[in-house]
Chain A
Amino acid sequence: MNGIEHALEYWYPIAMHNELSNGQTRRARLLEKELLLSGGANDSLTVTCNERPLALQSAFDHWWVTLSENPLPLFTIPEADEAERRFVPCGVVRVACSPLRAVENFLDIAHFPFVHTDVLGAEPHTEVYKYDVKIDESKDEVIASNIRFYQPQAAKSAEGGIETEYIYRVPAPMVAILYKTCPQKADAMDVIALFVQPLDEQTCDVWPWMALYDDTSTMADLIQFQQLIFLQDRSILENQIPRKLPLDPGLEIPTRADLTSISYRRWLKKRGAYYGALENC
Protein backbone atom coordinates (compact mmCIF):
# COMPACT_ATOMS: atom_id res chain seq x y z
CA MET A 1 0.00 0.00 0.00
CA ASN A 2 1.42 3.34 -0.99
CA GLY A 3 -0.79 5.52 1.16
CA ILE A 4 -3.03 6.71 -1.65
CA GLU A 5 -6.16 5.85 0.36
CA HIS A 6 -4.93 8.17 3.08
CA ALA A 7 -4.02 10.91 0.61
CA LEU A 8 -7.49 10.73 -0.96
CA GLU A 9 -9.05 12.03 2.27
CA TYR A 10 -7.71 15.56 1.82
CA TRP A 11 -8.51 18.69 -0.18
CA TYR A 12 -6.00 19.86 -2.80
CA PRO A 13 -5.49 23.13 -4.71
CA ILE A 14 -6.40 22.77 -8.36
CA ALA A 15 -6.70 26.32 -9.77
CA MET A 16 -6.53 29.96 -8.80
CA HIS A 17 -9.69 32.00 -8.57
CA ASN A 18 -10.66 33.59 -11.89
CA GLU A 19 -8.07 31.47 -13.69
CA LEU A 20 -10.55 29.95 -16.14
CA SER A 21 -12.99 32.21 -17.92
CA ASN A 22 -16.54 31.13 -18.76
CA GLY A 23 -16.37 28.23 -21.22
CA GLN A 24 -12.63 27.72 -20.84
CA THR A 25 -11.43 24.22 -19.96
CA ARG A 26 -8.15 22.78 -18.74
CA ARG A 27 -6.94 19.28 -17.94
CA ALA A 28 -5.29 18.58 -14.60
CA ARG A 29 -3.90 15.64 -12.71
CA LEU A 30 -4.38 14.79 -9.04
CA LEU A 31 -3.24 11.63 -7.26
CA GLU A 32 -2.81 9.86 -10.62
CA LYS A 33 -6.36 10.70 -11.72
CA GLU A 34 -7.14 12.81 -14.77
CA LEU A 35 -9.42 15.76 -14.09
CA LEU A 36 -11.22 18.21 -16.35
CA LEU A 37 -11.69 21.79 -15.16
CA SER A 38 -14.39 23.96 -16.75
CA GLY A 39 -14.85 27.64 -16.06
CA GLY A 40 -18.45 28.84 -15.69
CA ALA A 41 -20.35 32.09 -15.32
CA ASN A 42 -19.51 34.48 -12.45
CA ASP A 43 -16.04 33.01 -11.87
CA SER A 44 -17.45 29.60 -11.02
CA LEU A 45 -15.67 26.33 -11.69
CA THR A 46 -16.62 22.69 -12.10
CA VAL A 47 -14.17 19.82 -11.86
CA THR A 48 -14.92 16.33 -13.06
CA CYS A 49 -13.13 12.99 -12.92
CA ASN A 50 -14.41 10.45 -15.45
CA GLU A 51 -17.40 12.75 -15.87
CA ARG A 52 -18.17 12.53 -12.15
CA PRO A 53 -18.39 16.02 -10.62
CA LEU A 54 -16.08 16.49 -7.65
CA ALA A 55 -16.67 18.45 -4.46
CA LEU A 56 -15.06 21.89 -4.61
CA GLN A 57 -14.52 24.70 -2.19
CA SER A 58 -12.97 28.10 -2.40
CA ALA A 59 -10.29 29.25 0.04
CA PHE A 60 -7.14 31.40 0.07
CA ASP A 61 -7.65 32.62 -3.52
CA HIS A 62 -7.65 29.04 -4.83
CA TRP A 63 -10.14 26.32 -5.67
CA TRP A 64 -9.74 23.17 -3.59
CA VAL A 65 -10.95 19.78 -4.74
CA THR A 66 -11.25 16.37 -3.13
CA LEU A 67 -11.64 12.91 -4.62
CA SER A 68 -13.23 11.64 -1.41
CA GLU A 69 -16.94 11.29 -0.66
CA ASN A 70 -16.19 11.97 2.98
CA PRO A 71 -13.11 14.22 3.17
CA LEU A 72 -11.39 15.66 6.22
CA PRO A 73 -12.18 19.33 6.78
CA LEU A 74 -9.93 21.86 5.06
CA PHE A 75 -7.42 23.49 7.42
CA THR A 76 -7.83 27.14 8.34
CA ILE A 77 -5.60 30.21 8.06
CA PRO A 78 -7.15 32.90 10.29
CA GLU A 79 -4.95 35.60 8.72
CA ALA A 80 -6.79 35.04 5.43
CA ASP A 81 -9.69 36.98 6.98
CA GLU A 82 -7.60 40.05 7.80
CA ALA A 83 -8.75 42.46 5.12
CA GLU A 84 -5.81 44.84 5.43
CA ARG A 85 -3.34 42.19 4.24
CA ARG A 86 -2.25 41.87 0.60
CA PHE A 87 -3.22 38.44 -0.69
CA VAL A 88 -0.83 37.18 -3.33
CA PRO A 89 -1.46 33.93 -5.19
CA CYS A 90 1.81 33.27 -7.03
CA GLY A 91 0.71 30.90 -9.78
CA VAL A 92 1.82 27.30 -10.07
CA VAL A 93 5.19 25.67 -10.59
CA ARG A 94 5.68 22.03 -11.53
CA VAL A 95 8.42 20.16 -9.74
CA ALA A 96 9.56 16.62 -10.45
CA CYS A 97 9.79 15.63 -6.80
CA SER A 98 7.76 13.92 -4.11
CA PRO A 99 5.06 16.26 -2.78
CA LEU A 100 6.35 15.51 0.71
CA ARG A 101 9.87 16.62 -0.22
CA ALA A 102 8.43 19.92 -1.49
CA VAL A 103 6.80 20.49 1.90
CA GLU A 104 9.84 19.37 3.87
CA ASN A 105 12.17 21.70 1.95
CA PHE A 106 9.85 24.60 2.77
CA LEU A 107 10.26 23.79 6.48
CA ASP A 108 14.05 23.83 6.33
CA ILE A 109 16.04 26.85 7.46
CA ALA A 110 19.59 25.53 7.26
CA HIS A 111 19.72 25.75 3.44
CA PHE A 112 18.94 29.48 3.30
CA PRO A 113 22.52 30.82 3.09
CA PHE A 114 23.51 28.26 0.45
CA VAL A 115 20.46 28.15 -1.85
CA HIS A 116 18.92 31.58 -1.24
CA THR A 117 22.26 33.34 -0.96
CA ASP A 118 22.07 37.04 -0.07
CA VAL A 119 18.27 36.91 0.14
CA LEU A 120 17.09 34.56 2.90
CA GLY A 121 20.58 33.90 4.25
CA ALA A 122 24.25 34.62 3.82
CA GLU A 123 27.54 33.24 5.01
CA PRO A 124 28.89 33.38 7.65
CA HIS A 125 25.43 33.60 9.32
CA THR A 126 24.72 29.89 8.90
CA GLU A 127 23.91 28.80 12.43
CA VAL A 128 20.41 27.51 13.12
CA TYR A 129 19.75 28.44 16.74
CA LYS A 130 17.86 26.11 19.03
CA TYR A 131 14.13 26.20 18.35
CA ASP A 132 10.99 24.37 19.47
CA VAL A 133 8.85 21.83 17.66
CA LYS A 134 5.65 20.26 18.94
CA ILE A 135 2.58 18.50 17.68
CA ASP A 136 -0.47 20.61 18.45
CA GLU A 137 -2.77 17.80 19.59
CA SER A 138 -5.96 19.84 19.39
CA LYS A 139 -5.42 20.61 15.71
CA ASP A 140 -3.15 17.68 14.91
CA GLU A 141 -0.57 19.98 13.31
CA VAL A 142 3.20 20.16 13.40
CA ILE A 143 4.26 23.52 14.87
CA ALA A 144 7.84 24.83 14.90
CA SER A 145 8.40 28.07 16.76
CA ASN A 146 10.98 30.34 18.30
CA ILE A 147 13.10 30.19 15.16
CA ARG A 148 15.46 33.10 14.55
CA PHE A 149 17.65 33.55 11.52
CA TYR A 150 19.68 36.39 10.03
CA GLN A 151 18.35 37.39 6.60
CA PRO A 152 19.93 39.89 4.18
CA GLN A 153 16.59 40.50 2.41
CA ALA A 154 13.80 38.80 4.35
CA ALA A 155 11.03 40.14 2.08
CA LYS A 156 10.51 42.39 -0.91
CA SER A 157 9.71 45.17 1.57
CA ALA A 158 12.86 44.65 3.69
CA GLU A 159 15.57 47.29 3.56
CA GLY A 160 18.83 45.67 4.60
CA GLY A 161 19.48 42.64 6.76
CA ILE A 162 17.30 41.76 9.74
CA GLU A 163 17.08 38.93 12.23
CA THR A 164 13.85 37.25 11.25
CA GLU A 165 11.60 35.20 13.48
CA TYR A 166 9.81 32.23 11.96
CA ILE A 167 6.92 29.99 12.96
CA TYR A 168 5.97 26.99 10.81
CA ARG A 169 2.67 25.10 10.66
CA VAL A 170 1.98 21.85 8.84
CA PRO A 171 -1.82 21.48 8.94
CA ALA A 172 -2.01 18.73 6.29
CA PRO A 173 0.62 16.40 4.79
CA MET A 174 0.93 18.50 1.63
CA VAL A 175 0.51 21.99 3.05
CA ALA A 176 3.11 24.13 4.82
CA ILE A 177 2.51 27.59 6.23
CA LEU A 178 5.13 29.92 7.62
CA TYR A 179 4.81 33.08 9.65
CA LYS A 180 7.74 35.46 9.62
CA THR A 181 8.67 38.87 10.91
CA CYS A 182 6.99 41.53 8.81
CA PRO A 183 9.59 44.18 7.88
CA GLN A 184 6.88 46.87 7.51
CA LYS A 185 4.69 46.17 10.56
CA ALA A 186 6.38 45.48 13.85
CA ASP A 187 3.52 43.71 15.65
CA ALA A 188 2.44 41.49 12.75
CA MET A 189 3.80 38.49 10.91
CA ASP A 190 3.69 37.89 7.16
CA VAL A 191 2.14 34.59 6.10
CA ILE A 192 3.55 32.49 3.28
CA ALA A 193 2.05 29.14 2.39
CA LEU A 194 2.89 26.34 0.04
CA PHE A 195 -0.14 24.43 -1.25
CA VAL A 196 0.95 21.23 -2.97
CA GLN A 197 -1.10 19.41 -5.59
CA PRO A 198 0.27 15.87 -5.90
CA LEU A 199 0.12 14.65 -9.50
CA ASP A 200 1.74 11.37 -8.52
CA GLU A 201 4.27 10.26 -5.92
CA GLN A 202 7.16 11.92 -7.72
CA THR A 203 5.60 14.94 -9.40
CA CYS A 204 3.76 17.88 -7.92
CA ASP A 205 2.34 21.26 -8.82
CA VAL A 206 3.13 23.83 -6.15
CA TRP A 207 0.91 26.87 -5.54
CA PRO A 208 2.66 29.44 -3.32
CA TRP A 209 0.37 31.95 -1.62
CA MET A 210 1.12 34.94 0.59
CA ALA A 211 -0.81 37.23 2.96
CA LEU A 212 1.45 40.20 3.60
CA TYR A 213 1.57 43.66 5.02
CA ASP A 214 3.26 45.57 2.21
CA ASP A 215 1.71 48.66 0.70
CA THR A 216 4.67 49.71 -1.43
CA SER A 217 5.62 46.79 -3.69
CA THR A 218 3.72 46.11 -6.90
CA MET A 219 1.91 42.79 -7.26
CA ALA A 220 4.40 41.74 -9.97
CA ASP A 221 7.29 42.53 -7.61
CA LEU A 222 5.76 40.47 -4.79
CA ILE A 223 5.07 37.49 -7.06
CA GLN A 224 8.54 37.58 -8.59
CA PHE A 225 10.21 37.75 -5.20
CA GLN A 226 8.40 34.56 -4.17
CA GLN A 227 9.06 32.88 -7.54
CA LEU A 228 12.75 33.78 -7.29
CA ILE A 229 12.93 31.96 -3.95
CA PHE A 230 10.86 28.96 -4.93
CA LEU A 231 12.63 28.41 -8.24
CA GLN A 232 15.96 28.43 -6.43
CA ASP A 233 14.61 25.45 -4.51
CA ARG A 234 13.22 23.68 -7.55
CA SER A 235 16.49 22.42 -9.01
CA ILE A 236 17.59 21.24 -5.56
CA LEU A 237 14.31 19.37 -5.05
CA GLU A 238 14.55 17.66 -8.42
CA ASN A 239 17.97 16.30 -7.49
CA GLN A 240 17.14 14.81 -4.09
CA ILE A 241 17.81 11.08 -3.87
CA PRO A 242 15.96 8.89 -2.97
CA ARG A 243 13.15 10.59 -4.82
CA LYS A 244 10.57 9.55 -2.24
CA LEU A 245 10.86 10.82 1.33
CA PRO A 246 12.28 8.35 3.87
CA LEU A 247 10.27 8.61 7.10
CA ASP A 248 12.70 6.88 9.47
CA PRO A 249 16.07 8.37 10.39
CA GLY A 250 18.88 6.18 9.10
CA LEU A 251 18.84 6.58 5.36
CA GLU A 252 19.18 10.34 5.79
CA ILE A 253 20.94 11.32 9.00
CA PRO A 254 19.21 14.27 10.66
CA THR A 255 20.99 16.91 12.72
CA ARG A 256 19.71 19.23 15.42
CA ALA A 257 18.75 21.82 12.77
CA ASP A 258 16.42 19.25 11.18
CA LEU A 259 14.07 19.07 14.17
CA THR A 260 11.04 20.25 12.16
CA SER A 261 11.76 17.76 9.43
CA ILE A 262 12.10 14.91 11.95
CA SER A 263 8.77 15.81 13.53
CA TYR A 264 7.12 16.16 10.12
CA ARG A 265 8.34 12.70 9.08
CA ARG A 266 7.19 11.14 12.39
CA TRP A 267 3.83 12.87 12.10
CA LEU A 268 3.39 11.56 8.53
CA LYS A 269 4.28 8.06 9.62
CA LYS A 270 1.96 8.13 12.63
CA ARG A 271 -1.01 9.08 10.50
CA GLY A 272 -0.17 6.69 7.66
CA ALA A 273 0.59 9.46 5.18
CA TYR A 274 2.82 7.29 3.02
CA TYR A 275 1.94 8.78 -0.36
CA GLY A 276 5.25 10.15 -1.69
CA ALA A 277 7.18 8.42 1.10
CA LEU A 278 9.67 5.60 0.80
CA GLU A 279 8.21 2.26 1.86
CA ASN A 280 9.83 0.54 4.88
CA CYS A 281 12.06 3.53 5.57
Chain B
Amino acid sequence: MSFTLHNYVLSGNCYKIRLMASLLNVTYESIAVDFHPGQEHKSEPLLQLNPAGTLPVLTTTDGTVLTETQAMLVWLAQQHDPSNSWWPVHSKPQITRVVQWLGFASRLTATVGELRLHSMLNKPVNVTAVKTGAKVVLRELESHLTEQRINNLQWLTGDTPTVADIACFPYTALSPDAGIEHDDYPAIRRWLHRLRSLPGFITMPGIYELHELRKPDGYTVSDATL
Protein backbone atom coordinates (compact mmCIF):
# COMPACT_ATOMS: atom_id res chain seq x y z
CA MET B 1 0.00 0.00 0.00
CA SER B 2 1.59 3.24 -1.06
CA PHE B 3 -0.95 5.61 0.45
CA THR B 4 -4.30 5.91 2.22
CA LEU B 5 -7.20 7.75 0.64
CA HIS B 6 -10.14 9.16 2.56
CA ASN B 7 -12.64 8.61 -0.15
CA TYR B 8 -16.24 9.29 -1.20
CA VAL B 9 -17.64 7.28 -4.07
CA LEU B 10 -19.64 10.13 -5.66
CA SER B 11 -16.91 12.77 -5.43
CA GLY B 12 -15.33 13.80 -8.72
CA ASN B 13 -12.20 14.94 -6.88
CA CYS B 14 -11.83 11.58 -5.11
CA TYR B 15 -12.34 9.89 -8.46
CA LYS B 16 -9.38 11.83 -9.92
CA ILE B 17 -7.12 10.06 -7.43
CA ARG B 18 -8.75 6.64 -7.91
CA LEU B 19 -8.40 7.06 -11.67
CA MET B 20 -4.80 8.27 -11.60
CA ALA B 21 -3.83 5.41 -9.27
CA SER B 22 -5.50 2.91 -11.58
CA LEU B 23 -3.83 4.34 -14.70
CA LEU B 24 -0.46 4.08 -12.92
CA ASN B 25 -1.35 0.63 -11.54
CA VAL B 26 -0.86 1.73 -7.92
CA THR B 27 -2.70 0.01 -5.06
CA TYR B 28 -3.78 1.91 -1.96
CA GLU B 29 -6.02 1.69 1.06
CA SER B 30 -9.39 3.39 0.74
CA ILE B 31 -11.34 4.63 3.77
CA ALA B 32 -14.98 5.44 3.01
CA VAL B 33 -16.12 8.78 4.44
CA ASP B 34 -19.86 9.33 4.88
CA PHE B 35 -20.05 12.64 3.01
CA HIS B 36 -23.79 12.28 2.44
CA PRO B 37 -25.93 12.02 4.48
CA GLY B 38 -23.50 11.82 7.42
CA GLN B 39 -21.44 15.01 6.73
CA GLU B 40 -18.54 13.03 8.19
CA HIS B 41 -15.99 15.21 6.35
CA LYS B 42 -17.03 18.05 8.68
CA SER B 43 -16.66 15.89 11.80
CA GLU B 44 -13.87 16.50 14.33
CA PRO B 45 -11.60 13.54 13.40
CA LEU B 46 -11.67 14.48 9.72
CA LEU B 47 -11.19 18.20 10.45
CA GLN B 48 -8.11 17.32 12.45
CA LEU B 49 -6.75 15.58 9.38
CA ASN B 50 -7.90 18.29 6.98
CA PRO B 51 -9.03 21.60 8.50
CA ALA B 52 -10.57 22.57 5.16
CA GLY B 53 -13.17 19.83 5.63
CA THR B 54 -12.87 18.70 2.01
CA LEU B 55 -12.34 15.31 0.36
CA PRO B 56 -10.23 13.53 -0.70
CA VAL B 57 -7.41 13.42 1.82
CA LEU B 58 -4.29 11.49 0.88
CA THR B 59 -1.86 10.24 3.52
CA THR B 60 1.46 8.82 2.42
CA THR B 61 3.31 6.06 4.27
CA ASP B 62 5.87 8.59 5.53
CA GLY B 63 3.07 10.62 7.12
CA THR B 64 2.69 13.43 4.60
CA VAL B 65 -0.93 14.61 4.40
CA LEU B 66 -2.15 16.11 1.12
CA THR B 67 -5.51 17.87 1.02
CA GLU B 68 -5.41 19.47 -2.43
CA THR B 69 -6.50 17.10 -5.18
CA GLN B 70 -4.23 18.55 -7.84
CA ALA B 71 -1.20 18.18 -5.52
CA MET B 72 -2.14 14.52 -5.01
CA LEU B 73 -2.11 13.95 -8.77
CA VAL B 74 1.36 15.46 -9.02
CA TRP B 75 2.58 13.39 -6.05
CA LEU B 76 1.21 10.20 -7.61
CA ALA B 77 2.88 10.90 -10.95
CA GLN B 78 6.17 11.86 -9.33
CA GLN B 79 6.21 8.67 -7.25
CA HIS B 80 4.81 6.15 -9.68
CA ASP B 81 5.43 7.23 -13.26
CA PRO B 82 9.01 6.35 -14.19
CA SER B 83 8.38 7.57 -17.75
CA ASN B 84 7.82 11.13 -16.46
CA SER B 85 5.05 11.62 -19.00
CA TRP B 86 2.13 12.34 -16.64
CA TRP B 87 4.15 15.04 -14.86
CA PRO B 88 6.46 16.04 -17.72
CA VAL B 89 9.43 17.37 -15.77
CA HIS B 90 11.70 17.34 -18.81
CA SER B 91 9.67 19.90 -20.74
CA LYS B 92 9.58 23.33 -19.11
CA PRO B 93 7.02 24.80 -21.54
CA GLN B 94 4.70 21.82 -21.14
CA ILE B 95 4.90 21.70 -17.36
CA THR B 96 3.87 25.36 -17.26
CA ARG B 97 0.82 24.48 -19.31
CA VAL B 98 0.09 21.54 -17.02
CA VAL B 99 0.07 23.82 -13.96
CA GLN B 100 -2.17 26.26 -15.85
CA TRP B 101 -4.73 23.48 -16.44
CA LEU B 102 -4.42 22.16 -12.88
CA GLY B 103 -5.60 25.60 -11.82
CA PHE B 104 -8.36 25.51 -14.39
CA ALA B 105 -9.58 22.23 -12.85
CA SER B 106 -10.46 24.12 -9.67
CA ARG B 107 -12.76 26.35 -11.71
CA LEU B 108 -14.55 23.25 -13.01
CA THR B 109 -15.05 22.04 -9.43
CA ALA B 110 -16.34 25.45 -8.33
CA THR B 111 -18.91 25.64 -11.14
CA VAL B 112 -19.88 22.27 -12.66
CA GLY B 113 -19.06 20.49 -9.39
CA GLU B 114 -21.22 22.82 -7.30
CA LEU B 115 -24.10 22.70 -9.78
CA ARG B 116 -23.90 18.90 -9.72
CA LEU B 117 -24.05 18.81 -5.91
CA HIS B 118 -27.09 21.06 -6.10
CA SER B 119 -28.82 18.92 -8.75
CA MET B 120 -28.06 15.63 -6.99
CA LEU B 121 -27.92 16.32 -3.28
CA ASN B 122 -29.85 19.61 -3.14
CA LYS B 123 -26.85 21.59 -1.88
CA PRO B 124 -27.85 25.25 -1.53
CA VAL B 125 -25.92 27.24 -4.18
CA ASN B 126 -26.49 30.32 -6.32
CA VAL B 127 -27.86 28.27 -9.23
CA THR B 128 -27.80 31.06 -11.83
CA ALA B 129 -24.21 31.99 -11.00
CA VAL B 130 -22.80 28.46 -11.01
CA LYS B 131 -24.73 27.47 -14.14
CA THR B 132 -23.47 30.51 -16.05
CA GLY B 133 -19.99 29.89 -14.69
CA ALA B 134 -20.09 26.22 -15.69
CA LYS B 135 -20.98 27.06 -19.29
CA VAL B 136 -18.22 29.69 -19.49
CA VAL B 137 -15.65 27.22 -18.20
CA LEU B 138 -16.78 24.41 -20.49
CA ARG B 139 -16.75 26.79 -23.47
CA GLU B 140 -13.13 27.75 -22.67
CA LEU B 141 -12.18 24.08 -22.48
CA GLU B 142 -13.98 23.36 -25.76
CA SER B 143 -12.15 26.19 -27.53
CA HIS B 144 -8.80 25.03 -26.23
CA LEU B 145 -9.38 21.41 -27.22
CA THR B 146 -10.49 22.54 -30.68
CA GLU B 147 -7.25 24.50 -31.06
CA GLN B 148 -5.24 21.52 -29.89
CA ARG B 149 -7.02 19.40 -32.47
CA ILE B 150 -6.15 21.89 -35.25
CA ASN B 151 -2.52 21.61 -34.13
CA ASN B 152 -2.87 17.84 -34.23
CA LEU B 153 -2.47 17.50 -30.45
CA GLN B 154 -4.80 15.02 -28.75
CA TRP B 155 -4.53 16.16 -25.14
CA LEU B 156 -4.80 19.33 -23.07
CA THR B 157 -1.09 20.18 -23.01
CA GLY B 158 0.49 18.13 -25.78
CA ASP B 159 0.42 14.81 -27.55
CA THR B 160 0.37 12.68 -24.39
CA PRO B 161 -2.01 12.82 -21.42
CA THR B 162 -0.77 14.46 -18.22
CA VAL B 163 -2.12 15.00 -14.72
CA ALA B 164 -3.85 18.08 -16.17
CA ASP B 165 -6.10 15.89 -18.32
CA ILE B 166 -7.00 13.79 -15.26
CA ALA B 167 -7.65 16.92 -13.19
CA CYS B 168 -10.05 18.37 -15.76
CA PHE B 169 -11.74 15.11 -16.74
CA PRO B 170 -14.24 14.21 -13.97
CA TYR B 171 -16.33 17.36 -13.62
CA THR B 172 -16.34 17.85 -17.39
CA ALA B 173 -17.54 14.28 -17.89
CA LEU B 174 -20.09 14.63 -15.07
CA SER B 175 -21.70 17.84 -16.34
CA PRO B 176 -24.83 15.91 -17.50
CA ASP B 177 -25.38 15.09 -13.79
CA ALA B 178 -25.76 18.85 -13.38
CA GLY B 179 -28.11 19.13 -16.36
CA ILE B 180 -25.47 20.29 -18.87
CA GLU B 181 -25.32 17.80 -21.74
CA HIS B 182 -22.26 17.41 -23.96
CA ASP B 183 -24.10 17.96 -27.24
CA ASP B 184 -22.72 21.49 -27.65
CA TYR B 185 -19.12 20.47 -27.01
CA PRO B 186 -17.81 18.17 -29.75
CA ALA B 187 -14.11 18.63 -28.98
CA ILE B 188 -14.80 17.86 -25.33
CA ARG B 189 -16.73 14.73 -26.34
CA ARG B 190 -13.80 13.51 -28.42
CA TRP B 191 -11.35 14.19 -25.57
CA LEU B 192 -13.60 12.42 -23.02
CA HIS B 193 -13.83 9.43 -25.33
CA ARG B 194 -10.06 9.33 -25.74
CA LEU B 195 -9.54 9.47 -21.99
CA ARG B 196 -12.03 6.66 -21.43
CA SER B 197 -10.01 4.56 -23.89
CA LEU B 198 -6.81 4.70 -21.80
CA PRO B 199 -5.54 1.34 -20.50
CA GLY B 200 -6.41 1.08 -16.82
CA PHE B 201 -9.37 3.46 -17.08
CA ILE B 202 -11.98 2.98 -14.33
CA THR B 203 -15.53 4.28 -14.00
CA MET B 204 -17.58 6.11 -11.41
CA PRO B 205 -21.35 6.65 -11.26
CA GLY B 206 -22.16 8.95 -14.19
CA ILE B 207 -18.97 8.04 -16.10
CA TYR B 208 -19.25 4.80 -17.97
CA GLU B 209 -16.91 2.39 -19.63
CA LEU B 210 -16.77 2.47 -23.41
CA HIS B 211 -18.88 -0.55 -24.08
CA GLU B 212 -17.11 -1.48 -27.30
CA LEU B 213 -13.88 -1.87 -25.32
CA ARG B 214 -15.35 -4.90 -23.61
CA LYS B 215 -15.57 -6.88 -26.84
CA PRO B 216 -13.47 -10.01 -26.45
CA ASP B 217 -11.41 -9.50 -29.59
CA GLY B 218 -10.03 -6.25 -28.20
CA TYR B 219 -11.79 -4.19 -30.83
CA THR B 220 -11.63 -0.43 -30.16
CA VAL B 221 -13.25 2.45 -31.95
CA SER B 222 -10.61 4.44 -33.76
CA ASP B 223 -10.50 8.18 -33.39
CA ALA B 224 -11.40 8.59 -37.04
CA THR B 225 -14.91 7.24 -36.49
CA LEU B 226 -15.80 9.84 -33.85
Contact surface of A with B, Cβ cutoff 8 Å: 16, 19, 89-94, 96, 114, 117, 123, 205, 218-221, 223-224, 227-228, 230-232, 234-235, 238
With a CB–CB cut-off of 8 A, which chain B residues contact A91? 36-38, 121
The A-contacting residues of B in range 14-49, CB under 8 angstroms, are: 32-34, 36-38, 40
Q: Is B171 an interface residue (CB 8 A)?
A: no
Given contacts A234-B206, A235-B177, contact A19 B37 (CB under 8 A): yes
How near does chain B come to A43, taking the closest CB pair, in angstroms? Answer: 15
Given contacts A89-B37, A235-B177, 14 further A-B contacts (CB under 8 A): A91-B36, A91-B38, A92-B122, A96-B119, A220-B40, A223-B37, A224-B9, A224-B10, A227-B9, A230-B205, A231-B10, A234-B120, A234-B205, A234-B206
With a CB–CB cut-off of 8 A, which chain A residues contact B191? none
CA distance A114 to B206 in the complex (A): 13
Given contacts A90-B37, A93-B120, A220-B38, contact A234 B177 (CB under 8 A): yes
- The size bracket of the interface on B is 20 to 34
With a CB–CB cut-off of 8 A, which chain A residues contact B206? 231-232, 234-235
With a CB–CB cut-off of 8 A, which chain B residues contact A123? 214
Q: Which of B10, B33, B179, B209 has most chain A Cβ within 10 Å?
A: B10
With a CB–CB cut-off of 8 A, which chain B residues contact A89? 37
- Nearest-neighbor residue (CB-CB) of A226 within chain B: B9
Our pick among B122, B176, B211 for the contact of A205 (Cβ within 8 Å) is: B122
With a CB–CB cut-off of 8 A, which chain B residues contact A232? 205-206
- Nearest-neighbor residue (CB-CB) of A239 within chain B: B176
CA distance A205 to B36 in the complex (A): 14
How near does chain A come to B208, taking the closest CB pair, in angstroms? Answer: 8
Q: Is B8 an interface residue (CB 8 A)?
A: yes
With a CB–CB cut-off of 8 A, which chain B residues contact A223? 32, 34, 37-38
Query: Are B37 and A16 in contact, CB atoms less than 8 angstroms apart?
Result: yes
How near does chain A come to B45, taking the closest CB pair, in angstroms? Answer: 12
CA distance A6 to B8 in the complex (A): 39
- For this complex, 17 residue pairs linking A to B, each with C-beta atoms less than 8 Å apart, are A89-B37, A92-B37, A114-B211, A205-B122, A219-B34, A219-B38, A220-B32, A220-B33, A224-B10, A224-B34, A227-B10, A227-B36, A231-B10, A231-B120, A234-B177, A235-B205, A235-B206
